[in-house]
Amino acid sequence: MDYYSNVEETAALIRGKVGTPHVAIVLGSGLGDFANTLRDATAWSYGDLPHWPASNVIGHEGRLVIGTLAGRHIAALSGRAHFYEGHDLRTVTFATRVIGRLGVKVLILTNAAGGVNVKLKPGTLMVMDDHINLLGSNPLVGPNEDRFGLRFPDMSEVYSKRLRAAADETARDQDLPIAHGIYVAVHGPSYETPAEIRFLRTIGADAVGMSTVPEAIVARHMGVEVLGISCITNAAAGVLPQPLNHEEVMAVARQVRGRFAALLEGIIGRL
């Protein structure tokens, strides 16, 4: 079977069990507990879904949960596949393709990110206004599948103004401080050097991570509306005189999960 057929097979299985969700949410490192807030849920391990790539990174549970929240039918992806794990970008974005073929119209992408902008302290929630792709490739490279989308999709508004406004309104209602900024995706898995962070700051990046951008590109290729939210879990290399580690990322993500969940539920309630 070809890639499109694999996507269709997986989408058909999910649709046959639970129908079409209104919104899908990809949960980044340490943020997967949000999936447990869905009610009347049906869950699959990624390993139980045909062709779905495994998620083998600590903090990525590897589970698709579909249930209800704020009166909406929600799909929560607890974990994702990463480019740095050795997957090609078509594999990395397989789940996004399935979401699009399910008929989902809104995709919320979340991640743990390093703060390049020194004003972004650990624990800050940042709405992504745009991104810079420094992965060295693009998930649309290769023959175009017209049933997914156009050969040359427009990327002038990857992250929906409407959804960013909904995030701002929700934050105001909850008296929750949030930031806005530009996210840059790098290959990883090593953290960046201080010199690289100075370069990223110079080209306009506010936060840096190793995911999200391929998913956003593919979602827009399929006409899905996208919102991106970064949890700033650490100051980037060179900002503070201390080494970086994944345990710190996980610890900060756990600290903000209450605010993160409240923000997501409020946004979903506004859609």
60 included as an active-site residue: yes
What is the C-alpha to C-alpha distance for residues 66 and 263, in angstroms, rounded to an integer? 19
Q: Which of 8, 85, 145, 157 is catalytic?
A: 85
Catalytic residue (choose from 82, 171, 192, 219): 82
Indicate if 210 belongs to the active site. Answer: yes
Question: Does residue 73 carry a catalytic annotation?
Answer: no
Pick the catalytic residue from 29, 55, 78, 160: 29
Verify whether residue 4 is a known catalytic residue: no
Cα–Cα separations (whole angstroms), residue 109 to 165, 177, 220, 247: 16, 19, 12, 22
Look up 230 and say whether it is catalytic: no
Catalytic residue status for 82: yes
Catalytic residue among 60, 76, 95, 159: 60
29 catalytically annotated: yes
Q: Which of 112, 128, 166, 179 is catalytic?
A: 112
Out of 55, 78, 160, 211, pick the active-site residue.
211
Which listed residue (113, 126, 185, 210) is catalytic? 210
Closest C-alpha to 82, from 59, 110, 106, 53: 53
Return d(Cα 223, Cα 206) in angstroms, integer: 26
Torsion, CA 225, CA 159, CA 247, CA 187, rounded to 10: 100
d(CA 133, CA 136): 7
CA 160 to chain centre: 14
131 flagged as catalytic: no
Q: Which of 22, 87, 180, 246 is labelled catalytic?
A: 246
Is position 22 annotated as part of the catalytic site?
A: no
Amino acid at 62: G
User: Which one of 6, 84, 180, 265 is the catalytic residue?
Assistant: 84
Q: How far apart are CA 167 and CA 178, in angstroms?
A: 9
Q: What's the distance, CA 124 to chain centroid? A: 16
Catalytic residues: 29, 60, 82, 84-85, 112, 210-211, 234, 246
